[in-house]
Amino acid sequence: MSGECLKMPVKQGSVVRKSGKVFGQGKKAAKTIRAGLYARVSTLDQQTLPMQSRAMREYASRRGWTIAMQVKEVGSGATQRQMREKLIDAARRREIDIVLVWRLDRWGRSVTDLLATLQELEHLGVGFVSLTEALDLTTPAGRAMAALLSVFAEFEREILGERVRAGLAHARQNGKQLGRPTTAAQHTKEIRRLHRSSISKSEIARQLNIGRTSVRRILTSEKG
């Protein structure tokens, strides 16, 4: 997996000043919104990376945002998204005010992972916008969508839990031993009993599903 992280120079405390008055009061200076852009593609689909970046930069320009950081990541969906972590770290350091992504599935590995990162950004006071889905969590409609995501995340966790429980039950029905493998030491008495019955070491190991070396070691210690 490869990635690229570009930090754009931003003047600290810079503001956009406008003259004029509204209803006899001076306008408040508008705060500069510092955006962090995140683009990700699979290893076999790198040609769409420039398109994602261009579309997000144009959107940020239309919103009047300053691009403080731009992250590009290449890798499979199953891998840890290290470049995404750099962007989240920037949010923790209060270096960006909003995260802009091309699409939700580019940001989150699962619904649960997506919700966890969105909740952290919300806690940090950092906004989140997904360009393709027109999802803006700084708006009431966007926050309502985030609430729906929490429901889906819980549903995802329940489905995974049911699959695990079903898999364990199926394994038990097929006689598969679960948990940690039994050590040879736990079979000491049974090994000695079988050996006294003139059963070979190889056959003891096969019956108890342990190594012949372990059987030999236990029987040798008995002689000592």
Q: Is 42 tagged catalytic?
A: yes
| Alpha-carbon span 64 to 82, nearest angstrom | 28
Catalytic residue among 2, 14, 42, 200: 42
Residue 63 to residue 53: CA distance in whole angstroms: 15
Q: What is the end-to-end Cα distance of the chain in Å, rounded?
A: 56
Owner of token pair 């549903």: 155
**Per residue, what are the HEC states of the chain?**
CEEEEEECCCCCCCEECCCCEECCEECCCEECCEEEEEEEECCCCHHHHHHHHHHHHHHHHHHCCEEEEEEEEECCCCCCCHHHHHHHHHHHCCCCCEEEECCHHHHCCCHHHHHHHHHHHHHHCCEEEECCCCEECCCHHHHHHHHHHHHHHHHHHHHHHHHHHHHHHHHHHCCCCCCCCCCHHHHHHHHHHHHHCCCCHHHHHHHHCCCHHHHHHHHHHHHC
Catalytic residues: 42
